[in-house]
Amino acid sequence: MSVLTVRDLHVTYPPGVRAVRGISLEVGAGEVLGVVGESGSGKTALALAVLGLSPSGADVRGSVRLRGRELVGRSDAEMSLLRGRDIAMVFQDPLSALTPVHTVGDQIAETIRVHAGATRRAARTRAVELLDLVGIPDAPRRARAYPHEFSGGMRRRVMIAMAIANDPVALVADEPTGGLDVTVQAQILDVLRVAREATGAAVLLITHDLGVVAGVADRVMVMYAGRAVETAPVDQIYHRPRMPYTIGLLRSLPRADGTVRPVPIDGAPPSASAPPAGCAFAPRCPVALARCGDTVPEPAPVGPGGHRAACFNIEATADLDAVFPHRPAARRPEAPARHRRPVVLQVEDLVRHYRQRRGGPVHAVDGVTFDVRAGETLGLAGESGCGKTTVLMEILRLARPQRGRITVFGEDTAALAAADRKRLRRDLQVVFQDPFSSLDPRMRVADILAEPLSAHGMPGPKIQLRVRELLGVVGLQEEHACRYPRGLSGGEAQRVGIARALALEPRLLLLDEPVAALDASVQAGVLELLDELRARLGLSYLFVAHDLAVLRHVADRVAIMYHGRLMEIGAASAVYQRPAHPYTRALLDAVPLPDPLRERKRRRIPLQGDPPDPFAPPAGCRFRPRCPRYTALRNDALRRRCETSDPALHVLDPSVDRQVACHHAEGAK
């Protein structure tokens, strides 16, 4: 018996943006339905419509039934009685969903009192119980804290506690792990499991991340351009997907185990204001038939367990490789051994502390040493706040660092004159994370690409030629030249960012999370482009990413950063296959695998706690407060070593390119 039933739901936002175009779904008690879609697929519009929270002016048609009661068409006052009691939501951004001026305990108690009419005291007690349930340590005391006193992960927990406060029968979670580090994401997914078991609620889990869904959901619905294109039990979706879009989405995911290279889906999703007449995916579909362009396929049964897919060419999708074949890696030119290649970037014992008005200095970067040699990619990974972006900015400043030394192409940045610095900027370029905020909204693509050229004194006619050439290099059309950034899709905008970085023919590119803001299917395309450019133009990359799965496919060497220090650095194959540092291991363990079977079987050592505040690091090893290996140590002498001495990077095995900063590294004698 399903708890939440949606039938033929249509949501249209003014002016004529058809966000949801006929969705039907059912979620039973205690079941988790994962709704997966890229940005613009209408998944958030679906969530809002289910909760009756669509913005005013939105046209909602169809039926949403909660235990048989129709919700569509109810007034906001009626819905308010239901929301929070029978159906609850976990919002994506807990900072804006919690009131900053009340303590979290009061806010949870308030939801209980409004709906259950409990006494103040009973509600407070229950609030503390709930906070305890979602894993907030020292709940009675923390209940009296304000939202800003919690970290991002802890705020999510509070949100979940509030959502389950009245034992709802249905729970809608919109991107509950969006914007979190993998380690915290794993914790929150665990909390969601706890919440479902505690309430027995039907859960609608909305996310763009197929990896998140794999371990949590029972069934999965894939959305594309406002429609459900495939619905199936979770194992079916991952192992026997039938809709080409699902196949493409799965194949575009970078995997931390590095078994297969991600395959991009070419093209971009259609505009929601003018959806195509036929199958919305047809223009990007490699196995589209003639009639796909003019008739919309209805979901039809294709497998056991209610597996339905909306596709005409279902025969062609039996063999996944026939739809989106794996592509071979870009051929890399034969390179001499690493120690023979010249060093293009050397960072020695770099320190960057920020002074604060109150409190001590922030130790953003606290002694980091690494080098990048010609033609290679060094991946720099770590949780948010570990200082990886600060390292990048320090290099880009091309100035004397607070402490330590930065050498770019053999030139010490501390000794550079202004003219030398400008000359060096041609060789050293950067690509930022968010393609939209890195492009000036008031300039056309052609002007954006021309800017570095004219700044370095290239004459006008030559600039035009070079701009056209750059567009071709990154796979854009000439018509893109006169668009403004807002007229571009995310992938296109990031290509413009890359083209701008390439304009001056640099030899070293610093990439700051270049694909983190992109959808998976687009992400794979940009990664492929970067790979190809590196091989063709002989570039070296310093690739900063939080996503170890992405780095697996691009990096030759990886450096793992924690709290302003490197924990482990070495050849990517060595680090991924046999992580020696407990932090590296924990990070790898937390990366969700897009494979439900292996995801369930995985033996995890979850990392406790949050990424540290970058204030004064603890004495001894700075990872100690969260370190599972330290906790497992039984010998007091060994423990004391972690508590008193700060481990330096050292080589474990001379035959392997790897250094570790741990007293008890795996594989050490």
Bond from prior residue into 15 cis (ω within 30 degrees of 0) = yes
Distance CA 627, CA 586 (A): 9
Do 345 and 506 form a contact (C-beta atoms < 8 A)?
no
Q: Binding segment for other proteins among 78-86, 154-162, 165-173, 462-470 (CB under 8 A)?
A: 462-470
Choice from 239, 326, 422, 602 touching other proteins (CB under 8 A): 422
- Which amino acid is present at 302? V
Nearer residue to other proteins within complex by CB, 242 or 534: 534
Distance CA 311, CA 167 (A): 39
Do 570 and 656 form a contact (C-beta atoms < 8 A)?
yes
Residue 531 within binding range of other proteins, rule CB under 8 A: no
What is the closest distance, in whole angstroms, from the C-beta atom of residue 660 to other proteins in the complex?
A: 24
Residue with tokens 């030119």: 333
Choice from 96, 99, 119, 273 touching other proteins (CB under 8 A): 273
Q: What is the maximum alpha-carbon separation in the chain?
A: 77
Can you name the residues that pair with 381 across neighbouring β-strands? 545, 560
Residue 408's contacts (CB-CB under 8 Å, 6 or more residues apart) are 344, 345, 395, 398, 424, 427, 428, 508
Nearer residue to other proteins within complex by CB, 98 or 108: 98
The bridge status of strand 227-233 relative to strand 307-309 is antiparallel
Residue 65 within binding range of other proteins, rule CB under 8 A: no
Nearer residue to other proteins within complex by CB, 129 or 447: 447
Site for other proteins in 115-154 (CB under 8 A): none
Nearer residue to other proteins within complex by CB, 428 or 587: 428
Three-class secondary structure of residue 502 per DSSP: helix
Choice from 198, 260, 399, 482 touching other proteins (CB under 8 A): 482
Tally Cβ neighbours within 10 Å of residue 16.
Answer: 10
Choice from 183, 236, 377, 433 touching other proteins (CB under 8 A): 433
Task: Pinpoint the alpha helices (H) of 152-218.
Answer: 152-163, 182-199, 210-216
Residue 318 within binding range of other proteins, rule CB under 8 A: no
Do 113 and 170 form a contact (C-beta atoms < 8 A)?
no
Q: How far is CA 518 from CA 244, 293, 378, 432, in A?
A: 20, 27, 21, 12
Distance CA 476, CA 468 (A): 9
Residue 536 within binding range of other proteins, rule CB under 8 A: yes
As given in the structure block, the two tokens for residue 202 are 């039907």
Nearer residue to other proteins within complex by CB, 6 or 550: 550
Residue 39 within binding range of other proteins, rule CB under 8 A: yes
Choice from 444, 578, 639, 641 touching other proteins (CB under 8 A): 444
Q: Binding segment for other proteins among 57-65, 171-179, 296-304, 567-575 (CB under 8 A)?
A: 171-179
Choice from 277, 300, 414, 465 touching other proteins (CB under 8 A): 465
Fill in the per-residue mask, 342 to 361: x = in contact with other proteins (CB under 8 A), - = not in contact.
------------x-------
Site for other proteins in 87-106 (CB under 8 A): 92-93
Three-class secondary structure of residue 515 per DSSP: coil
What is the closest distance, in whole angstroms, from the C-beta atom of residue 283 to other proteins in the complex?
A: 14
What is the closest distance, in whole angstroms, from the C-beta atom of residue 473 to other proteins in the complex?
A: 7
What is the closest distance, in whole angstroms, from the C-beta atom of residue 485 to other proteins in the complex?
A: 8
Residue 269 within binding range of other proteins, rule CB under 8 A: yes
Residue 462 within binding range of other proteins, rule CB under 8 A: yes
As given in the structure block, the two tokens for residue 137 are 């340590």
Residue 363 within binding range of other proteins, rule CB under 8 A: no
What is the closest distance, in whole angstroms, from the C-beta atom of residue 335 to other proteins in the complex?
A: 12
What is the closest distance, in whole angstroms, from the C-beta atom of residue 438 to other proteins in the complex?
A: 4
Q: How far is CA 545 from CA 271, 386, 427, in A?
A: 30, 11, 22
Three-class secondary structure of residue 659 per DSSP: strand
Residue 472 within binding range of other proteins, rule CB under 8 A: yes
Can you name the residues that pair with 231 across neighbouring β-strands? 221, 308
Q: What is the 3-state secondary structure (H, E, C) of 211-265?
A: HHHHHHCCEEEEEECCEEEEEEEHHHHHHCCCCHHHHHHHHHCCCCCCCCCCCCC
Fill in the per-residue mask, 199 to 218: x = in contact with other proteins (CB under 8 A), - = not in contact.
---------x----------
Angle, to 10 degrees, between the axis of helix 520-537 and the axis of helix 490-502? 20
Do 408 and 428 form a contact (C-beta atoms < 8 A)?
yes
Residue 38 within binding range of other proteins, rule CB under 8 A: yes
As given in the structure block, the two tokens for residue 30 are 């205690």
Do 544 and 511 form a contact (C-beta atoms < 8 A)?
yes
**How many residues are listed for the chain in this entry?**
669
Residue 601 within binding range of other proteins, rule CB under 8 A: no
Tell how far CA 405 is from the center of its chain: 32
Residue 440 within binding range of other proteins, rule CB under 8 A: yes
Choice from 14, 73, 137, 179 touching other proteins (CB under 8 A): 179
Q: Binding segment for other proteins among 45-53, 80-88, 458-466, 599-607 (CB under 8 A)?
A: 458-466
Distance CA 571, CA 523 (A): 24
Fill in the per-residue mask, 486 to 525: x = in contact with other proteins (CB under 8 A), - = not in contact.
xx-xx------x--x-xxxx-x----xx--xxxx------
What is the closest distance, in whole angstroms, from the C-beta atom of residue 475 to other proteins in the complex?
A: 8
Site for other proteins in 376-395 (CB under 8 A): 384-385, 388-390
Nearer residue to other proteins within complex by CB, 55 or 461: 461
What is the H or E stretch that residue 11 is in? strand 2-13
Residue 437 within binding range of other proteins, rule CB under 8 A: yes
What is the closest distance, in whole angstroms, from the C-beta atom of residue 91 to other proteins in the complex?
A: 11
Nearer residue to other proteins within complex by CB, 297 or 491: 491
Query: What sign does the CA torsion over 413, 415, 421, 424 have?
Result: negative
What is the closest distance, in whole angstroms, from the C-beta atom of residue 422 to other proteins in the complex?
A: 5
- Residue 354, CB-side half-sphere exposure with 13 Å CA sphere: 15
Site for other proteins in 640-669 (CB under 8 A): none
Choice from 467, 511, 529, 548 touching other proteins (CB under 8 A): 467
Q: Binding segment for other proteins among 57-65, 121-129, 284-292, 450-458 (CB under 8 A)?
A: 450-458
